[in-house]
């Protein structure tokens, strides 16, 4: 099943099962059902899948803060894992400071019971059409 990720087709996000939520004013929500394909040997969501979800959500938040942009490229991302992810997850991201060419974001993942699972900060380069 191919989803529309806020105007984009991203096959890898389809593969891990990420579901886009809402996007606007530098904020994004998404969800990640806990599927066997994204778990580790302990049955917990694998860290790379969590980082992917956070990276996507933060870069989408950048795009929503800069509607004239064509995308956002991750410059730096720092992720802390706080608890094992053993159930469906909710991702929220927001822009902390949006500059003309660089934007700083933060994101977090909570399980559906509200427990904080992972937290990230990221720095993103805004990609614009040539001439902008």
Q: Is the pLDDT of residue 1 over 80?
A: no
Residues pairing with 80 in the sheet = 119
Residue 79 lies in a domain: yes
Quote the percentage of the chain above a pLDDT of 90. 81
Into how many domains does the chain fold? 1
| pLDDT at position 46 | 97
Q: DSSP character for 6?
A: S
Q: Report residue 94's pLDDT band, with 50, 70 and 90 as the boundaries.
A: very high
Query: β-strand 27-32 against 69-81: which pairing, if any?
Result: unpaired
Residue 3 lies in a domain: no
Residue 54 lies in a domain: yes
Q: Is the pLDDT of residue 92 over 70?
A: yes
Q: Is the pLDDT of residue 71 over 90?
A: no
Kindly give the residue spans of alpha helices, DSSP state H, lying in the chain.
11-16, 47-65
For residue 56, what are its two tokens? 């996507």
| pLDDT at position 70 | 86
E strands, 33-115, in order: 69-81, 89-98, 102-111
9-57 tens-digit pLDDT: 888 899 899 999 999 999 999 999 999 999 999 999 999 999 999 999 9
By residue range, what is the domain housing residue 90?
11-128
**Residue pair 16/89 in contact by the 8 Å Cβ criterion:** no
Residue 1 lies in a domain: no
Q: What is the CATH number of the domain that holds 17?
A: 3.10.129.10
Residue 6 lies in a domain: no
Task: Measure the N-to-C terminal CA separation of the chain; round to a whole number of Å.
Answer: 35
pTM, full prediction: 0.93
């Amino acid at each position: 099943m191919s989803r529309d990720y806020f105007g984009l087709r991203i096959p890898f996000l389809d593969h891990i099962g990420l579901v886009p939520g809402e996007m606007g004013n530098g904020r994004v929500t998404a969800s990640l059902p806990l599927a066997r394909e994204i778990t580790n040997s302990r049955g917990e969501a694998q860290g790379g899948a969590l980082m992917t979800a956070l990276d996507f959500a933060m870069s989408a938040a950048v795009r929503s803060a800069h509607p004239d942009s064509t995308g956002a490229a991750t410059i730096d991302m720092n992720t802390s894992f706080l608890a094992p992810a053993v159930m469906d997850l909710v991702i929220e991201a927001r822009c902390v400071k949006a500059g003309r060419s660089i934007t700083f974001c933060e994101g977090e993942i909570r399980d559906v019971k509200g427990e904080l699972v992972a937290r990230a900060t990221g720095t993103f380069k805004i990609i614009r059409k040539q001439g902008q």
